[in-house]
Amino acid sequence: MRTPLVAGNWKLNKTAAETKVLIEEMLPGLEAVSNVDNLICPSYLAIPAAAEMLKDSKVALGAQNVYWEEAGAFTGEVAPDMVAEFCEFVIIGHSERRAYFGETDESVNRRTKAALAHGLIPVVCVGETLAENEAGKTDEVVSRQMRDGLAGLGITSADQLVIAYEPVWAIGTGKAAYPEDASRVIGQSIRPVLAELFGDEIAQGIRVLYGGSVKPSNARDFFSEEEVDGALVGGASLKADDFIKITEAAA
Ligand code: 13P
């Protein structure tokens, strides 16, 4: 009942010109797969070019972050309506933002509220560090990130929100989580908090992705887990063939 979503987080990669080339390479292969939604999130400056290329396609466009203020003296920030002019989705609270740019559960909450207020679909990222994992704190950390990051949102339907469970130690390391562990965390610490916050029916419809070293060779194992509704892909989303294969695995 939840349509799988395969999303690419391109991070700090690809100029606008390079973005056009990569979209051209991957678009036909993505369009050929039905029953799977796709999302790509290039850098801000490549978004207008990407929007033009994707406008009649099944591939949705997202930004990698958004500020919570509408306008004003906030040098370097990008406002929600600026993102919403081109994008349907926005990634919020990625662990790289938390680790390098001071993002907290509170700022995640503010960004998420602002995104929703402008009709954007937030892809809110949660996940434990290696130290937290080894200390047996995964569920405590993930459920806290969920509760604090999503507090007070007025979600009225499941398609307004996407969650990505990305264990920090699995990102860019080539060492993915075991699919059954990812599924367990989602089933124990993510979906129950969604149910607390938004009620059971909405919680059952919200897509929860796994992210962290997803590649063509392991994608199928993740997607065969009941609780995993797709993937947020970093490195492999920058290779057209790999991203298409991951999308095919979701179908
Ligand atoms: P990798 O797929 O490169 O591990 O990155 C995952 C990620 O951070 C997606 O947001």
Q: Give the type of residue at 130.
A: L
Cα-to-centroid distance, 121 and ligand 1 (Å): 19
**Which protein residue has the closest C-alpha to ligand 1 atom 7?**
234
Q: Which H or E run contains 59?
A: strand 59-63
User: So what's the pLDDT on residue 129?
Assistant: 97
214 lines ligand 1 (CB under 6 A): yes
Q: Alpha helix locations (H) across the chain?
A: 16-31, 47-54, 80-84, 95-100, 105-117, 130-134, 138-149, 179-185, 191-198, 200-205, 216-223, 240-250
pLDDT by residue for the chain (251 residues), tens digit each? Answer: 899 999 999 999 999 999 999 999 999 999 999 999 999 999 999 999 999 999 999 999 999 999 999 999 999 999 999 999 999 999 999 999 999 999 999 999 999 999 999 999 999 999 999 999 999 999 999 999 999 999 999 899 999 999 999 999 999 999 999 999 999 999 999 999 999 999 999 999 999 999 999 999 999 999 999 999 999 999 999 999 999 999 999 99
Dmax over CA atoms of the chain, in Å, equals: 48
Q: Give the type of residue at 18.
A: E
Among 250, 247, 231, 243, CA closest to 13:
243
User: So what's the pLDDT on residue 1?
Assistant: 81
235 lines ligand 1 (CB under 6 A): yes
Ligand 1 atom nearest to CA at 94: 10
Cα-to-centroid distance, 60 and ligand 1 (Å): 18
Q: Residue 91 forms beta bridges with which residues? A: 123
Q: Is 193 helix (H, G, I), strand (E, B) or coil?
A: helix
- State pLDDT tens for residues 60-75: 999 999 999 999 999 9
| 148, 141 Cβ separation under 8 angstroms | no
User: So what's the pLDDT on residue 244?
Assistant: 98
Q: How far is CA 37 from CA 188, 192, 217, 232, 251, in A?
A: 25, 24, 20, 12, 10
Q: Residue 191 forms beta bridges with which residues? A: none
211 lines ligand 1 (CB under 6 A): yes
Among 76, 151, 148, 78, CA closest to 120:
78
9 lines ligand 1 (CB under 6 A): yes
Quote the tokens at residue 232.
């947020």
Q: Given 94, 103, 132, 227, which residue is catalytic? A: 94
Cα-to-centroid distance, 139 and ligand 1 (Å): 20
Among 180, 159, 158, CA closest to 224:
180
171 lines ligand 1 (CB under 6 A): yes
From 3.20.20.70, 3.20.20.140, 3.40.1370.10, 3.40.50.300, which CATH number describes the 5-250 domain? 3.20.20.70
Domain ranges of the chain: 5-250
Q: Is 118 a catalytic residue?
A: no
167 lines ligand 1 (CB under 6 A): no
Residue carrying structure tokens 């029916």: 201
pTM exceeds cut of 0.85: yes
| 153, 161 Cβ separation under 8 angstroms | yes
Q: Is 94 a catalytic residue?
A: yes
**Which protein residue has the closest C-alpha to ligand 1 atom 1?**
234
Ligand 1 atom nearest to CA at 213: 4
